[in-house]
Amino acid sequence: MANETALQPVRGTRDLIGEEARRHFHVIDTARRVAATYGFDEWSTPVIEDTRVFARGLGDTSDVVMKEMYSFTDRGGESITLRPEATAGLCRALVSNGLTQSLPQKVFYAGPMFRYERPQKGRYRQFHQIDIEVLGSEGPLADAEVIRCGWAILEALGVAQDTVLELNTLGDPESRDRYRTALVEYFAAHRARLSPDSQMRLDRNPLRILDSKDENDRVLVAGAPLVTDHLTDSAASFYARLQDLLTRLAVPFRLNPRIVRGLDYYSHTAFEFVTDRLGAQGTVMGGGRYDGLVQEMGGPHTPCIGWAAGVERLAMLMAEPPPAPTGIAVIPVTDAQEPTALTILQSLRAAGLRAEMAYRGNLKRRMERANKTHAHTAIIIGETEAASGVAQVKNLTTGEQSQVPFDGLVAMLG
Ligand code: ATP
Ligand code: MG
């Protein structure tokens, strides 16, 4: 007797079935196809990594590393982490595979990521990202290409009009030092009003305060100095060139000097594609330039640029789900015609057509089954058809019926 409590998926994780699965894979397939036209190659790296890949890579003051990582000690005593994002692992892979002399590497990635967050709409503990990175390229042409590719994916998904590109720069190291000094001066004057987290950030990494989600912090952040007032000439000219390239590539954007991004490793370009259609979970794609990450993994200084986008958020933004696939239903009228029907079924599948056989119950039940599988066409094989080698073919959309010799079926339906 099934009197036990039915088991549920782990909090913050979801099963993808039916329409949700179709939306999900449509996002990934579309991104993969578009990224290929921009010359990106797909990689796959392990879901688990040495914890140091993220602790070093993401910066030990980032929210992800401090609060959100799924880390555990394995049976051999190693500290292992379920990856919270793709970039650090890709940089680790670049170094592990000796590719730091074969640059640039243009990588497309899709896969599950894990963060211990409070689950809500658009925020899960297992979620999925699509990701592209140019590993080993000075900007700003690569920055423009990476952003243009992201925009092309949003266009191909039909969600571009619902998103806005917000662009910022974090400048070069010298700009960042100047800016950090200005920030510390400003926030130190308001120290007591900062959240405990941000008081800690003020000592360890003041830029992080700009990304705080605490309401009181946000009020203070609104009055904070702007990075764009502290840029060196060369950082300012990098930023101006990127804006010019984006304009040439027809990517609309607006400048938002408040964007810093959640991870510690960015420099120069930082950007987010945001929407007002997903409530608090408004960032669908985010990324930027990071120049120190490959070094953290033990490689040489390697400038990189990339972004990651949440598949779930993109899937929610898509207006229409992709239609359920339709196919052909092969219907033997009685069990006696099953062998003939099976041969026809096999020839259709071998020709690359989606085909199913309805083989339970009387003809009515079988026709119902054909409708359930969203068949667009039924091939009906009764006693006469099996004997003559000519099938009844019924177009289930128009109701039109015709007689087609078995060996003409693939040509007619293909
Ligand atoms: P947020 O500010 O929403 O927490 P983030 O800055 O932590 O986002 P990134 O690390 O930049 O996000 O990841 C890139 C994208 O991945 C996000 O823009 C979002 O679309 C998606 N994403 C991040 N965390 C989650 C999550 N827990 N559930 C679903 N999607 C997520
Ligand atoms: Mg986050």
Q: Are residues 136 and 50 in the same domain?
A: yes
CATH code of the domain in which 293 resides: 3.30.930.10
Is residue 206 situated within a structural domain? no
Domain, as residue range, for 379: 327-413
Domain end position, chosen among 317, 352, 375: 317
174, 234 Cβ separation under 8 angstroms: no
Domain boundary among 273, 295, 317: 317
* CATH number of the domain that residue 354 is part of: 3.40.50.800
Average confidence (pLDDT) per 10 residues, the chain, 414 residues: 80 96 98 98 98 85 81 96 96 98 97 97 97 95 98 98 96 90 94 93 88 90 93 97 98 92 76 93 94 92 97 96 93 94 97 90 84 90 97 95 97 93
24 close to 110: Cβ distance less than 8 angstroms: no
Taken in order 123, 125, 126, 128, is the CA torsion positive or negative?
positive
CA of 313 to the centre of ligand 1 (A): 9
**Count: domains in the chain:** 2
Per the domain annotation, does 189 fall within a domain? no
Supply the pLDDT for residue 263. Answer: 61
Ligand 1 atom with the shortest distance to the CA of 129: 16
Nearest protein CA to atom 6 of ligand 1, as residue: 262
User: What number of CA atoms fall less than 13 Å from residue 398's CA on the CB side?
Assistant: 6
User: Of ligand 1's atoms, which has the minimum distance to the CA of residue 124?
Assistant: 28
Residues 312 and 338 in one domain: no
Q: Which of 283, 307, 312, 318 to mutate to test the pocket of ligand 1 (most atoms within 8 A of CB)?
A: 283
Q: Verify that 146 and 272 share a domain, yes or no.
A: yes
pLDDT digits (tens, 9 = 90+) for 238-277: 999 999 999 999 999 999 998 887 666 678 999 999 999 9
| Whether residue 306 is found in the same domain as residue 397 | no
Ligand at shortest distance from the CA of 262: 1
Tell how far the Cα of 310 is from the centroid of ligand 1, in angstroms.
6
**Pocket residues: Cβ below 6 A from ligand 1:** 85, 115, 117, 122-124, 127, 129, 262, 281, 283-286, 308-310, 312-313
pLDDT in tens, 77-128: 999 999 999 999 999 999 999 999 999 999 999 999 999 999 999 999 999 9
249 and 383 part of one domain? no
Distance 285 CA to ligand 2 centre (A): 12
Residues 33 and 146 in one domain: yes
Give the number of the ligand closest to the Cα of residue 315: 1
